[in-house]
Amino acid sequence: MENILKEKEELAAKLTSIVPISMTPQDELDFRSATHCSICKKALKGDRVRDHDHQTGRYRAALHSSCNLKFRLSKKIPVVSHNLKNYDGHLIMQEIGKLKDYEISVVPTTMEKYVAFSLSKRYHKFKVSLNFVDSFQFLSTSLEKLVQNLTPDKFNILKENFPRHNISLLLRKRVYPYEYMDSHQKLDEERLPSIDSFESTLTGSGISDEDYRHVQTVWNYFNLKNMGEYHDLYVKCDVLQLADVFENF
């Protein structure tokens, strides 16, 4: 939660700052020669204004003054979590309860489960909010199956983060020894645990020899030093895969 709030502060600074417009001679010529508004497509008369990107200062187009006022960058930052209601939402809400100076809004299904919730804070005249949404409400199956439904060429975000790697290793079903990893000390272990350590009392089963060989391949390919690095790779892939799935939804 600490990292999410830190990133939110960085985004809020960008969303609430306005870089003055910077126009080239060609931009000025384009503005004066424009005959129709780029938003509503209706004829421009005496109410034309210069629209520009508030983040870069770059001139974009000639607009009606009324259209320009409606054309605003959203101050709502989405935070997407798969099955938020049943898993991550519990942990996040525990941390949210400790926060001050935030306006909190929730959409509950029960007293303990939330489909969506938001944190809002005012920055000068702007209100910026973090909107937590459950992607499972739109894509109601496991992340593993959602990944299988996409062709490899659709994983652009994953490729951007692993540009020089064989991403087919990251698209295959990945496994994690959830019950074995019961202390912070195990994150420092410098070798993979045995195949038996991947067994789950919840499902009453373990992983196949093929799955374990794949774990070993990933460990060696990425030159992982300890279980902490394996953990970080595992959760990073989860986040990037979900981002790609949502982008292709």
Q: What is the CATH number of the domain that holds 78?
A: 3.30.720
pLDDT of res. 128 = 92
pLDDT of res. 140 = 78
Whether residues 207 and 114 share a domain: the answer is no
pLDDT of res. 212 = 96
Whether residues 165 and 211 share a domain: the answer is yes
Q: Which amino acid is at 39?
A: I
Q: Which of 89, 138, 132, 129 is nearest to 111 (CA)?
A: 89
Angle in degrees, 0-180, between the axes of helices 227-247 and 209-221, rounded to the nearest 10: 100
What's this model's pTM, rounded to 2 decimal places?
0.62
The residue with tokens 């898993």 is 87
Whether residues 32 and 54 share a domain: the answer is yes
Whether residues 160 and 192 share a domain: the answer is yes
Task: State which residues form the domain around 24.
Answer: 20-71
pLDDT of res. 111 = 66
Q: Is 119 helix (H, G, I), strand (E, B) or coil?
A: strand
CA torsion sign for 31, 35, 38, 39 is: positive
147 Cβ contact list (under 8 Å, min separation 6): 171, 241, 245
Per-residue pLDDT of the chain (249 residues; tens, 9 = 90+): 888 889 988 999 888 888 999 999 999 999 999 999 999 999 998 899 999 999 899 999 999 999 999 888 888 998 888 888 887 887 888 888 888 888 888 887 776 677 788 999 888 788 999 999 888 887 778 888 889 889 999 999 999 999 888 889 999 878 999 999 999 999 999 999 999 999 999 888 999 999 999 999 999 999 999 999 999 999 999 999 989 998 887
Alpha helix locations (H) across 97-201? 143-148, 156-161, 168-171
Whether residues 186 and 232 share a domain: the answer is yes
User: What gap in Å lies between CA 249 and CA 247, rounded to an integer?
Assistant: 6
Whether residues 147 and 244 share a domain: the answer is yes
Number of domains in the chain: 3
Pairing of strands 76-81, 59-64: unpaired
pLDDT of res. 173 = 79
Q: Are 93 and 107 in contact (CB under 8 A)?
A: no
Q: How many CA atoms lie within 13 A of 197 on its CB side?
A: 14
Whether residues 52 and 65 share a domain: the answer is yes
